[in-house]
């Protein structure tokens, strides 16, 4: 499968788990609601992503979101998985980026989420 560029951070080296957790902390500090979404294929004509559970309305610890990201990767290894940030004031998604690609090896503890 050829490498595809998707959304924010896709032209940078993959984020480590620690870097991803810092992005979650950034969202939480700005009162954004993190969410995890996944899709089996990237297609411009089909932009629907499935929710991994509901957005994390009451989460205050990035570790909770990272644990769910790990569970989503485990249950959907063939999928693209992204982290989103929803702004309840503006009532819209204000950030999203892919943290897992199906062609990527499973990350090791403290290593990259994507490759």
Task: Indicate the average pLDDT of the chain.
Answer: 83
For residue 4, tell me if it sits in a domain: no
In a domain, 26, yes or no: yes
DSSP assigned state of 7: B
Answer yes or no: is 12 within a domain: no
Q: Would you say residue 46 lies in a domain?
A: yes
Exposure string over 45-69, b if 16+ CB within 10 A, otherwise e = eeeebeebeebbeebeebeebbebb
**Mean pLDDT, residues 78-106:** 87
Residue 7 domain-assigned (yes or no): no
Determine contact, residues 84/93, Cβ cutoff 8 Å.
Answer: yes
Given a contact cutoff of 8 angstroms between Cβ atoms, the answer to whether 78 and 109 are in contact is: no
Is 5 a member of any domain?
Answer: no
Number of domains within the chain: 1
Which CATH number is 30's domain given?
3.30.190.10
When pLDDT is averaged across residues 19-46 and rounded to a whole number, the result is 91
* Structure tokens that stand for 95 in this block: 């950030």
Q: How confident is the model at residue 8 (pLDDT cuts 50, 70, 90)?
A: low
Given a cut of 50, is residue 115 above it in pLDDT?
no
Helix 17-29 to helix 62-75 angle (10° resolution) is 130
What global pTM score does this model have? 0.79
Please give the residue range of the domain that contains residue 56.
17-100
Instruction: Yes or no: say if 96 and 24 are a contact pair by the CB < 8 Å rule.
Output: no
Residues of the chain with pLDDT > 70: what percent? 81
């Amino acid at each position: 499968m050829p490498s595809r560029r998707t959304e924010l951070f896709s032209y940078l080296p993959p984020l480590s788990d620690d870097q991803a957790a810092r992005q979650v902390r950034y969202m939480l500090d700005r009162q954004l609601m993190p969410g995890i979404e996944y899709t089996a294929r990237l297609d411009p004509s089909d932009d629907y992503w499935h929710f991994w559970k509901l957005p994390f309305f009451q989460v205050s610890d990035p570790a909770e979101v990272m644990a769910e990201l790990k569970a989503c990767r485990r249950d959907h290894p063939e999928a693209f998985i992204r982290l989103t940030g929803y702004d309840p004031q503006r009532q819209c998604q204000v950030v999203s980026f892919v943290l897992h690609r199906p062609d990527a090896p499973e990350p090791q503890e403290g290593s990259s989420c994507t490759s």
